[in-house]
Structure 1
Amino acid sequence: MFFRNLTLFRFPESCARSLKKLEKELDDHRLRPCGPIEMATRGFVSPYGRDAEELVHRVGPYALLSIGSEDKLLPASVIAEELANKIAKISEKESRRIGARERKRLKDEVINELLPRAFVRPSRLAAYVDTETGWLVVDTASRRAAEDTVTAIREGLGRFPATPMAPVESPRALMTGWLAHGKLPAGLAWGDEIELRDPVEAGAVVRCRRQELESDEIREHLKSGKQVFQLGLELDERIAFVLGEDLTVRKLRFLDVVLDELGEDSAESARQELDARFALMTLELKRLLEKLDEWFGLPRPDERD
């Protein structure tokens, strides 16, 4: 298991003590099956798979979690069709017009009738906490899904004051400066993907893939006033990613030099493989998070923040 996207939060040092009791605190918040008339449920599941009981996998200061969801699939078109049929039958039988309030009531009846027969779509979202340096790392580029993860942990612990990144330096301005001056911080190399935008409302947007980022074409966009909103980068020839102006990391990819460290047939079981991959991933991401903090200034909040 390697994360593919990163949405980042930080939490104060005081949280580290409660996070050491995650296993116990989350036990009452396991995922349960979606009931007959429920649209969705959410809860914690084992990172080892559906047949395992443990809710937390630990390697040193890192704790891996997995949040599961079950969502009923009930397309709006199906609801509309069933509602139209029900209204048509009532109108034909009673020869009267259906008002807005009754229509809403009938729609609720249709949904309740369809829910027990709806398909259930399961999903899983991984995250890990670093109790030593105060990072929560969620494997998603969706801000809403990441916030839901924070909420789930908060509900489990009773309290979890994790906050989104609040950079001291503007990522957009800094990345635009890197590109304009053709100079990156030590250890970084250009990727081949970029998104440039005119910062004015409804301004032009340029997205490039498999593009030489130091080309004359890109420079012309910068001269016209466009700024970098997403930038493809490589760190130490070990990981490649696209960094957004909100510091969301997308398209995270571990390069061959990292994957080779896993070796072949090194794990005797699925659990040992998870342990090896999680240990390797957190080691690499520790380096990335330290660099993000160095470049943009991402102070760990204290209890008063």
Structure 2
Amino acid sequence: MFFRNLTLFRFSTEVADDVSRLDEALAGHRLRPVGPMEMSTRGFVSPLGPAEDSLTHTVGHYTKVVAASESRMLPPSVVNDELAKRVQKIAENEGRKVSSRERKKLKDDVLNELLPRAFVRQSRTAAYVDARNGWVVVDTSSRRAAEDVLSMLREALGSFPAVPLAPEESPRVLLTRWLASGEAPTGFALGDEVELRDPATASGGVVRGRLLDLDTDEVREHLRAGKQVFRLGLVFDDRISFVLGEDLVVRKLKFTDVVLDEQPDSPESAAAELDANLALMTLEHGSLLDKLAQFFKLPRPE
């Protein structure tokens, strides 16, 4: 499937060689089922599906991985309710208060009884590594989730010094300038979504708009009042629509029909379909990331 959000990291040319051994490195970090007395486990699963063994899938200089976790769903409220019942029962039957030490033991007993019966939920986060251009692209808008994937890659490789983006041009200033002028840079067009905030106050008013014309007096009035752009809808080359944040996270990414019409009609196999989709997706992403690196001056680490 195509990525819907892009959280980005960069790495140097010296680190690129590590990508060639990803499949071997991940072998010892495969996701295993969560045990009856465990809260969670994490590891990697095959991008090709549960029936496949390979933990990476490479097309050209792009290598896709899927980080996953299994977690037992045992809400604290369920544990606390059961603990309260047992404490109350002791108070009623024995006429005494339960000490903090005994309460801790009772809570451990509750966990030991309920944990093996709790439902298990699996979550997955896809990512790919562009060895030639030094990008790690994670399909999430959550910085924490993206950092977790990067942490898992570092753990598997021993070291992988990919770093968050360090723009030399302020994204907020540039996005605000584009909106105020009504003109995005060459190759881009304004979309139909915006988030404006007053940067001077943490609790200042927030203006959000979707499915609207951004070239209006109402929007310009907010800009004249000192609000700045924190998120802006854009369209790149009539091929990709997305919302770009001042954190340079790409959200709500969609390919237009121009791109989708280039998909093969009937791939020979699931692997062939994945090859075609990964090649198409990374090609489009690559053009977009090149432009973002140019406008916001996102240097590749030395």
TM-score normalised according to structure 2 size: 0.97
Contact kept, 8 Å, 2:9 with 2:165, in 1: the verdict is: yes
Please state how far the C-alpha of 1:101 moved relative to its aligned partner: 4.0
CA–CA distance in 2 between the matches of 1:51 and 1:165? Answer: 36
Q: How many residues align?
A: 301
Q: Structure 2: how far apart are the matches of 1:61 and 1:229?
A: 33
Whichever residue aligns with residue 151 of structure 1, its letter is: S
Offset of 1:103 from its aligned partner?
2.6
| CA distances 1:191-233 after superposition (whole Å, capped 9, x unpaired) | 1000000112211001100110111110011011000000000
* Counterpart residue number, 1:152: 152
1:104 deviates by 3.3
What secondary structure, in the 3-state scheme, does the structure 2 residue paired with 1:264 have? coil
Measure the CA separation in 2 of the matches of 1:108 and 1:288.
Answer: 52
Match of 2:212 in 1: 211
| Equivalent residue, structure 2, for 1:165 | 165
* Structure-1 separation of matches of 2:43 and 2:133: 26
Which residue pairs with 2:31 in the alignment?
31
Cα RMSD, aligned residues only? 1.0
Q: Is the 8 Å Cα contact of residues 30 and 45 (structure 2) preserved in structure 1?
A: yes
* CA distance in structure 2 between the partners assigned to 1:134 and 1:156 by the alignment: 18
Identify which range, 104-113 or 269-278, moves more after superposition: 104-113
2:254 corresponds to 1:261: no
Matched, 1:202 2:206: no
**1:41-99 CA distance string (max 9 Å, x none):** 10010001111101110011100001111011112221121111111222223221123
Deviations 1:132-166 (A, max 9, x none): 11100000000110000000000000001111111
Q: Distance in 2 between matches of 1:102 and 1:275?
A: 58
Q: Which residue of 2 aligns with 1:75?
A: 75
Structure 2 unpaired stretches of 5+: none
* 1:275 alignment counterpart: 275
**Contact kept in structure 1, 2:66 and 2:125, CA below 8 Å:** yes
AA in 2 matched with 1:160: F
CA distance in structure 1 between the partners assigned to 2:243 and 2:11 by the alignment: 24
Q: Which residue of 1 aligns with 2:229?
A: 228
What is aligned with 1:249? 250
- Distance in 2 (CA, whole Å) between partners of 1:202 and 1:111 is 40
Aligned equivalent of 1:174? 174
Displacement of 1:109 in angstroms is: 2.5
* Stretch moving more, 103-112 or 191-200: 103-112
CA deviations on 1:248-299 (whole Å, 9 max, x unpaired) are 010000110001001322x011111011000000000000100110110111
| Matched AA of 1:127 | A
Amino acid at match of 1:212: D
Say if 2:183 and 2:189, in contact at 8 Å, map to a contact too.
Answer: no
The farther-off stretch of 235-244 and 196-205 is 196-205
